[in-house]
Amino acid sequence: MTPPKDIDSRVTELARSVSNSLNLSTSPTLNFHSPPTSFKQRGSFTDGGSGSTPGLSSISWKQLKPFDSKDIKVLLLENVNQTGVDILKAKGYQVEALKSSLPEDQLIERIKDVQVIGIRSKTKLTERVLSHAKNLIVIGCFCIGTNQVDLQYAAQQGIAVFNSPFSNSRSVAELVIAEIIALARQLTDRSMELHSGTWNKVSKGCWEIRGKTLGIVGYGHIGSQLSVLAESMGMSVIYYDVINLMGLGTARQVASLDELLDQADFVTLHVPETQDTKNLIGKTQLEKMKDGSYLLNNARGSVVDIPALIEAMRSGKIAGAALDVYPNEPAGNGDYFNNDLNTWARDLRSLKNLILTPHIGGSTEEAQSAIGVEVSEALVRYVNEGASLGAVNMPEVTLRSLTLEEPDSLRVIYIHKNVPGVLRQVNAVLAHHNVEKQNTDSRGEVAYLMADISDVREEEIKDLWQSLEELSSRIRTRVLY
């Protein structure tokens, strides 16, 4: 990727103006430099880059940026994985990475200054904090969940939020494989017995997993990974999903949950938490499972009716279970897994051949590293190209990249209130130019418009930006070129 170049003084003010409307009046310290000396002379961007079209490797993609990227300030909190830090630094951004989260007053001070913030689960980006974030355009949650961010308020301010929901799929799938074998061999019981000095060599009720049937409920990112791993160990795989999905290997989709419960020796859950999946496995479903079968839940705590599971295990109907997730989970590490947290905790803990883990399904070094890469790349795509694919609080919009064959083209991003008549007004502004391509989508109260327009003279850019800024529907205008 071509490093960003300073522009000459002629266009410095212009670049400041068009880069990010909310930055302008509020941050006198900002010093945007781009675009390159001539609006027409671009650095070549030939690696296909984010947002490029696959298979068009001979095309020179134009790197969009309304700024010199070294002026993009990024604050990373909570020890974001080094992979993520490296990607952002490699783009030339000014990156400050702190090991911990910040107290709210310090956070408010620091967030005023930055265009990008990266957090994990401890930093709370509330309306109060975000109301001070006048320069912020994007938040990266280097984790799975986004509950720590006021997503709606962020969207209303034109601040996109990205996370990494699928970077740990492989880690979960591998844990499930370990649990299947451990349950089949009563491994954790034997280990605990020997830890307490008891030698208990038994083979009764212990099985190989080869030839057994694994029933996967939810054949998404994790379920399908698991399917491949299980088959490679000689298991026969069936799965149930609410949508029709092609099975990997020889895995076979069954028509109903009941059919799966009827056939599977091991039932493993990989569905999201929704109204439909609440207590998906309760008393009735447990009764439908094979005698002496096993249940594994690494999805969400609400999916299994745990008191019903306790009964089914006590009766011997279920020979073993593995739980990684619970209806209530403590906020931090410590001796909290008791009846104050969940009324049945003591009963659960007393059961044999039950593997209890503290929501560690996705907790591996590899997953943390993959999260760093995924979120950082999403941040770069959003900052440099405006692509909102994967945003959790904004409409997902992208366009294929501009090429060097389109030297006088630029990209307009107009985040606006989702009210009638906006497109007509925006198109009236853009109508003076040739709109090469345009994409718009809405999500709740917020809409996101992206348009690539050509034949734009350098001196017209500020007017264009200004006209969009003056529309009453405006939340945020960005012009990238």
Ligand X SMILES: NC(=O)c1ccc[n+]([C@@H]2O[C@H](COP(=O)([O-])OP(=O)(O)OC[C@H]3O[C@@H](n4cnc5c(N)ncnc54)[C@H](O)[C@@H]3O)[C@@H](O)[C@H]2O)c1
What residue ranges bind ligand X (CB under 6 A)?
A: 144, 166, 168-169, 172, 217-223, 240-243, 270-274, 276-277, 298-300, 324-325, 359, 361-362
Is the Cβ of residue 95 or residue 222 nearer to ligand X in the bound state? 222
Residue for token pair 């059919």: 259
H/E stretch holding 10: helix 9-19
For 251-267, give the DSSP string. -EE-S-HHHHHHH-SEE
Please say which residue, 158 or 361, places its beta carbon nearer to ligand X.
361
C-alpha 117 chain-centroid distance: 15
**Alpha helix (H) ranges present in 206-355?**
221-232, 257-263, 283-288, 306-314, 345-349
Among the options 132, 221, 359, 443, which is catalytic? 359
> How many C-alpha atoms does 161 have within 13 Å on its Cβ side?
23
Q: How far is the CB of 268 from ligand X (least distance, A)?
A: 10
Find the shortest distance in angstroms from Cβ 335 to ligand X. 21
> Annotated catalytic, 110?
no
Query: What is the rounded CA–CA span in Å between residue 114 and residue 128?
Result: 16
Q: How far is the CB of 122 from ligand X (least distance, A)?
A: 17
Q: CB-wise, 327 or 407, nearer to ligand X?
A: 327
Smallest separation (angstroms) from ligand X to the CB of 165: 6
Q: Which residue is nearest to ligand X (CB)?
A: 220
Closest distance of CB 219 from ligand X, Å: 5
CB count within 10 Å of CB 179 equals: 25
Our CB check for ligand X shows the closer of 280 and 429 to be: 280
| 269 SS3 class | strand
Q: Is 375 helix (H, G, I), strand (E, B) or coil?
A: helix
Residue 395 in tokens: 């409409």
**Alpha carbon distance 56, 360 (integer Å):** 41
d(CA 200, CA 191): 10
Minimum distance from CB of 402 to ligand X (Å)? 32
Q: Is 273 a catalytic residue?
A: no
Between 363 and 454, CB nearer to ligand X: 363
Long-range (24+ apart) CB contacts under 8 A made by 22-29 are: 22/134, 22/135, 22/137, 22/157, 22/158, 22/476, 23/115, 23/134, 23/135, 26/112, 26/134, 26/135, 27/112, 27/113, 27/134, 27/135, 29/113
**Minimum distance from CB of 167 to ligand X (Å)?**
9
Catalytic pick among 96, 208, 329, 445: 329
Residue closer to ligand X (CB basis): 69 or 297: 297
Cβ-based nearer residue to ligand X, 17 or 298: 298
Cβ-contact 323, 356 below 8 angstroms:
yes
CA within 13 Å, CB half, 106: 8
Q: What end-to-end distance do the CA atoms of the chain give, in Å?
A: 15
The answer to whether residue 33 is catalytic is no
Angstrom distance (rounded) from CA 369 to CA 348: 34
Instruction: Supply the residues annotated as catalytic.
Output: 300, 329, 359
